[in-house]
Amino acid sequence: MRATFVLLTDWETQNFMRKLAVELDAQYQIGLSGCLLPAHVSLKQPFQITDLQAVETFFDEWVASIEPFDVRFTSLGFHFIEQASVGIVWFDVEETAPLRGLHNRLNAELSQRFEHTEAPFDGPQYHFHATVALGRWPLTFHEKLTREYEKRAISGGFHVRELALFYYAADDFAPGTFTDYKILRTGRSALSAR
């Protein structure tokens, strides 16, 4: 089992991201697997858990301690994991002190409460992004997609008002094995909304 904490986008951003994902799929047939969860910016990559209820309790307390803040997008980004032949299209997120601080704080506090909370790509080099599309495709295809879309202007962002706890029943992240388990508003209103 795995879990992660994410910042949910607002509806306008979700709609814009899904429209672009459908456009990419219509043009390149890359699939819509990147759209199976609500549009979001991960604060941490999925980490191993043994007790979902304990993680949920921590999530409730943690979200209540966060006040709303802004997230800004800077550009359309592309990443390719060659060993897995997986391509990702994302909105690059401007790194700010509050955002980096939340990532660092989450990692520190989770490691104090639970074992084995490390996850690949977490830590000082973590790259904040909002996934638009992902899938298995060859490097040559990824290079073509990047050339055709890299100059597309992306701006905007959203005001963070909600966080979600995503739950993964299996380690392979296969469709049908994960869900947006819980959504809460930021700040003290999160405690009263449960």
Kindly report, residue by residue over 93-150, the tens digit of the pLDDT.
Answer: 999 999 999 999 999 999 999 999 998 888 888 999 999 999 888 888 888 888 888 8
- Which of 101, 97, 121 lies closest to 109 in space, CA to CA? 101
Average pLDDT, the chain: 91
Query: Which whole number is the average pLDDT over 150-160?
Result: 87
CATH superfamily of 2-187: Cyclic phosphodiesterase (3.90.1140.10)
Query: Which whole number is the average pLDDT over 34-38?
Result: 94
Q: Are 93 and 71 contacting, i.e. CB atoms less than 8 angstroms apart?
A: yes
Give the list of residues 6+ apart from residue 1 with CB closer than 8 angstroms, or none: 48, 49, 50, 52, 167, 168, 169
Identify the three-state secondary structure at position 58: helix
- How high is the pLDDT of residue 105? 96
- Which of 84, 59, 51, 78 lies closest to 150 in space, CA to CA? 78
User: 167-194 pLDDT, tens per residue?
Assistant: 999 988 888 899 999 999 998 655 544 4
pTM (two decimals): 0.91
- How high is the pLDDT of residue 70? 96
The residue whose two tokens read 């979200």 is 63
Distance CA 142, CA 44 (A): 25
Q: Are 139 and 82 contacting, i.e. CB atoms less than 8 angstroms apart?
A: yes
- How high is the pLDDT of residue 187? 87
